[in-house]
Chain A
């Protein structure tokens, strides 16, 4: 049981390049999330998904796209990377909560992305 895994762990991009971050969970969770963490900013929600085939925008969605083709995977794409997207990216997942808001989110180890 690996929990939430993220690929890759580190990446350096040049401005304008594209890439996809992969998140996988083996806990059969319905909900999945992508956050970014910047120094002094805490974690901010980029996009989220409440089930296979569904996605929705979070607090800071601009410049990112996501897809949830399989329940266990949630992909975050950067079509044209910018230096402002230099950050640590965390994926998280949670059960469909019996009581909304009581779901505990399980986080992956993070992907450190640098855009030059």
Chain B
């Protein structure tokens, strides 16, 4: 059973427009969610996170929204830039030390 789902394997957005990446989860025990960005041949790097007690967290061009009743979160990137082209992973944390549960990732392509 996939606990974190990213249903869009890829997304293409024009430079300067908004990119919206979606993530759904099934595990109600998750109390913290994170987004990671990954370039080819590199390890994932932390982008932004949100606690389950909040519904929005903003950091510069990046905003994450959490809808607990729908078990859905989204990452908004405004405006999108060429350097944002990467694979984005959504991850959930249950509060323990046993790592993160990752989605399969969404490949974001920013077109000039």
Contacts and interface: CB of A to CB of B under 8 A. Distances in A.
A19 B104 CA distance: 27
A100 B95 contact: yes
A102 B53 CA distance: 12
Given A101-B32, A102-B32, A109-B41, A45 B99 contact: yes
A108 B9 CA distance: 24
A31 to B, nearest CB: 6
Interface residues of B, number: 29
B44 A100 contact: no
Contacts of B96: 100-101
Interface in A74-100: 90, 92, 100
A107 B87 CA distance: 15
A71 to B, nearest CB: 15
A17 B65 CA distance: 47
A50 B100 contact: no
B43 A108 contact: yes
A41 B49 contact: no
Contacts of A4: 43
A91 B4 CA distance: 20
Interface in A29-83: 31, 33, 35, 40-45, 48, 50, 56, 58
